[in-house]
């Protein structure tokens, strides 16, 4: 598995955009970038994923650099409910084996 | 059916006792996964099923652990002779073959071994 590096924690003011970085310098050509988040006392929740193009959905945007060695998850208007641990995971898109989670980034949204 | 259900939400047991957890996946999902999460760490993969077949087991899954999915629907995870080191959150996830790594997780079972 390609490994990822994320900051341990980040703060963001409510209503501002939260930008969460992830480094994945050893990513392979067929590996996708996935983002999940885990709110306290809940299971992880899928947010978004991408291969090489930028992606946007109702929850977030994913910006992947041209060399694919890093990416940024953007929560455009953070709310207090976005306080969670955010995991960046790099895996082949198909397949059935499990995800490998690191420690993630603890994002704290400040009122 | 709106999500993955896990039962119980919390379990406290004495060291040496056996415990069993249940997971009910999203009904049309044919893949089911078990993870374990300790405090401050991300979830760690334990095992997964495709329909009723258990196709992969992590080395974390010692011989005291056994998982079943008898009819390809719900699954159980049993831990025999529990140890204090087994204290963790046990998470279940399900997915539909062909949908990539879009997994839906349950809220987990918190096990405390005293």
Count of C-beta atoms within a 10 Å radius of residue A9: 11
Distance from CA of B82 to the nearest CA of A (A): 22
Q: Do A34 and B101 touch (CB under 8 A)?
A: yes
Model confidence at A1: pLDDT above 90: no
User: Least CA distance to B92: which residue of chain A?
Assistant: A43
Q: Do B104 and A46 touch (CB under 8 A)?
A: yes
What SS3 class is residue B90? strand
Distance from CA of B63 to the nearest CA of A (A): 20
Model confidence at A41: pLDDT above 90: no
Average pLDDT in the B53-82 region? 93
> Which strand (E) or helix (H) includes residue A90?
strand A84-92
| Rounded-to-integer distance, Cα A5 and Cα A98, Å | 19
What per-residue confidence (pLDDT) applies to B108? 97
* pLDDT, chain A, mean: 93
- Which of B39, B57, B46, B41 minimizes the C-alpha distance to B23? B46
What per-residue confidence (pLDDT) applies to A67? 95
Edge-to-edge strand ranges of the sheet holding A61-64: A18-23, A70-75, A61-64, A55-56
Tokens of B62: 């010692």
- A57-91 pLDDT, tens digit per residue, is 999 999 999 999 999 999 999 999 999 999 999 98
The string of DSSP letters for A21-76 reads EEE-TT--TTEEEEEEEE-TTS--EEEEEESSS-EE-SS-EEEE-TTSSEEEEEET
Q: Do A62 and A54 meet the contact criterion of CB atoms below 8 Å apart?
A: yes
């Amino acid at each position: 598995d390609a490994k990822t590096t994320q900051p341990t924690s980040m703060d963001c003011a409510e209503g501002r955009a939260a930008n969460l970085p992830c480094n994945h310098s050893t990513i392979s050509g067929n590996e996708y970038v996935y983002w999940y988040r885990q709110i306290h006392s809940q299971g992880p929740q899928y947010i978004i994923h991408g291969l090489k193009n930028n992606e946007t959905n109702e929850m977030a945007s994913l910006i992947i650099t041209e060399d694919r060695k890093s990416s940024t998850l953007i929560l455009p208007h953070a709310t207090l409910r976005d306080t969670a641990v955010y995991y960046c995971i790099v895996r082949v898109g198909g397949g059935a084996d499990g995800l490998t989670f690191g420690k993630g980034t603890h994002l704290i949204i400040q009122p | 059916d709106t999500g993955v259900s896990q039962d119980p939400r919390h379990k406290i047991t004495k060291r040496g006792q056996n415990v069993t957890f249940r997971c009910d996946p999203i009904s049309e999902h044919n893949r089911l996964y078990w993870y374990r999460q300790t405090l401050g760490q991300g979830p760690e993969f334990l095992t997964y099923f495709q329909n009723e077949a258990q196709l992969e087991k992590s080395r974390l899954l010692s011989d005291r652990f056994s998982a079943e999915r008898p009819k390809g629907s719900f699954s159980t995870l049993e831990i025999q002779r529990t140890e204090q080191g087994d204290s963790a959150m046990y998470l279940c996830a399900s997915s539909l073959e062909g949908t990539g790594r879009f997994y839906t997780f349950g809220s987990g079972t918190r096990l405390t071994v005293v």
